Amino acid sequence: MVLFGLYRQKHEKAASIKTSLVYPNDFEKSNQVNRVEEGNRAREIIKRLKEEYPEAKIALDFSDPWELLVATILSAQCTDKKVNEVTAGLFKKYRSIDDYAVAGQEELEQDIRPTGFFRNKAKNITGAARLILSDYNGEVPGTMEEILRVPGVARKTANVVLGNAYGIVEGIAVDTHVFRLSHRLGLSKERQPDKVEKDLMSTIPRKDWFHLTYLLIEHGRNVCAAKLARCDICVVNDLCPSAFKV
């Protein structure tokens, strides 16, 4: 009897969540955007992804804020796995931020070449090291305003470094997985990452901002990949407006 009661409660709760959901397409048709309903849907998506990926976290290797900044700059258009392979040797060769500031450009380019876009990345890394040494006493700055002054740092990198190095969460890091899944899940229609981030920040509770990035990255890697969305095994397929349409 008790078991049946629990079963019924669980399913009544699930049914009430389902019936309260309104997909973005429906919103458009009725032209009545209901932020509360959309917030409920987003919260339910996050809840399920947390259950699915309880260990979701950053995959880059680093031992201090500067190494995290270097690894994040290198991760643009490159897999975390490849970045970790490169930084395993890089962090042994360049022991401190001063080593990067005085590094020969061509030598550094060759050291990071496998990560792609190596000329630009090398220029940004030496530029970042010099600015941080001259303006911030060699410490990676800990505010959004300051870190955005550093060469090679836009909002995604800033959010990754502030959140993982200092526990400071001022936004949501939008990488390629977060961007793609935000669209598929109907959380944003914007074409620029900064605008997608704003949409997410307006819907997702602040306490989940940091974690959301790593939940969506895990889901993007494991289930909702760019080329193949496995909607049949997706834990949020009943909440996703793109389910079985990708």
Residue that has been written with the tokens 């005085």 in this structure: 102
Active-site residue, selected from the candidate residues 111, 121, 156, 208: 156
Site membership for ligand SF4, residue 229 (CB under 6 A): yes
In 3D space, the residue among 67, 52, 36, 34 whose CA is nearest the CA of residue 211 turns out to be: 52
Q: Does position 242 bind ligand SF4 by CB under 6 A? A: yes
- Does 236 sit near ligand SF4 (CB under 6 A)? yes
Is position 21 an interface residue for ligand SF4 (rule: CB under 6 A)?
Answer: no
Beta bridge partners of 224: 229
Q: How far is the CB of 221 from ligand SF4 (least distance, A)?
A: 12
Q: How far is the CB of 147 from ligand SF4 (least distance, A)?
A: 31
In whole angstroms, give the CA distance from residue 33 to residue 131. Answer: 45
Pattern 194-223, ligand SF4, x by CB under 6 A:
-----------------------------x
106-125 residues near ligand SF4, rule: CB under 6 A: none
CA-nearest of 228, 225, 172 to 203 is 172
Q: Does 176 bind ligand SF4 (CB under 6 A)?
A: no
- Which is nearest to 169 in space by CA: 214, 129, 131, 132? 214
Give the residue with the Cβ less far from ligand SF4, 8 or 230. Answer: 230
If we measure between CA atoms, which residue out of 245, 221, 219 comes closest to residue 234?
219
Residue 13 or 230: the one with the smaller Cβ distance to ligand SF4 is 230
Amino acid found at 73: I
User: How buried is 160 (Cβ within 10 angstroms: 0-12 exposed, 13-18 middle, 19+ buried)?
Assistant: buried
Cβ burial, residue 226 (10 Å; 0-12/13-18/19+): exposed
Catalytic pick from 80, 111, 121, 175?
Answer: 175
Q: Which one of residues 90, 184, 200, 212 is an interface residue with ligand SF4 (CB under 6 A)? A: 184
Q: Is 156 marked active-site? A: yes
Where in the sequence numbering do the catalytic residues fall?
156, 175
> Given the rule CB under 6 A, which residues bind ligand SF4?
184-185, 223-224, 229-231, 234, 236-237, 240, 242-243, 246
